[in-house]
A and B are shown apart, each in its own frame.
Chain A
Amino acid sequence: DAGVTQSPTHLIKTRGQHVTLRCSPISGHKSVSWYQQVLGQGPQFIFQYYEKEERGRGNFPDRFSARQFPNYSSELNVNALLLGDSALYLCASSSTGGRNYGYTFGSGTRLTVV
């Protein structure tokens, strides 16, 4: 079975631009979460979606948005990029909420804002 797949793997954007990151969960997993990992730090929670509904939102500005599609894949959108948005963006999937089974993470999208 394929794991969690994210695209693109690397991305360079200019300040003020918009970016869309994509994630395909493990087949059968209905929960997708997004995390931001700044270099040298632990991942920070951005969003969770379960069955296409938002179930949680972290402390991120409204420039960050996400959605989940009927096939349970997900997109993370970031508008008006800032230099501080440079990070590794991780997608994680779980068959349930993840509390008891943990999440399976993808390899991430490395976003560099210049």
Chain B
Amino acid sequence: GDSVTQMEGPVTLSEEAFLTINCTYTATGYPSLFWYVQYPGEGLQLLLKATKADDKGSNKGFEATYRKETTSFHLEKGSVQVSDSAVYFCALSGYSSASKIIFGSGTRLSIRP
């Protein structure tokens, strides 16, 4: 079945460092891909999305490119801030699971001032 694998955390970086959180997926056809963020004590917020190969999703300085050839959707940000500290979830919604979103296990990110 469809699945998402993302890099395990926690990830700790200094402010203004470059961020990459790796995400790969397994799915039939062409799933839609998402990054969600969860701040402490809150629900999930959609950070960005891409619905077809080579699409780049972007929001708040974060970017991720839908790579069909490597089945990847890595999250990147050029300069992180303390306020980016949260848990990040890579997710997909595919043809075989069109009614649901499948989430990765999450990556906890902590940014040091």
A43 and B98 in contact, given A99-B32, A102-B49 (Cβ under 8 angstroms): no
A97 and B98 in contact, given A102-B46, A107-B43 (Cβ under 8 angstroms): yes
Q: What 1/0 flags go to A59-86 for Cβ under 8 Å of B?
A: 0000000000000000000000000000
Query: What band does the interface of chain A fall in when counting residues whose beta carbon is under 8 Å from B?
Result: 20 to 34
B99 touches A105 (CB 8 A): no
Shortest Cβ distance from residue A72 to the other chain B in the assembled complex, whole angstroms? 16
Query: What band does the interface of chain B fall in when counting residues whose beta carbon is under 8 Å from A?
Result: 20 to 34
Among the stretches B11-19, B73-81, B100-108, the one at the interface with A is B100-108
B93 touches A99 (CB 8 A): yes
Residue of A nearest to B99 (CB): A56
A45 touches B101 (CB 8 A): yes
Residues of B within 8 A of A (CB): 4, 32, 34, 36, 42-46, 49, 51, 89, 91, 93-94, 97-106
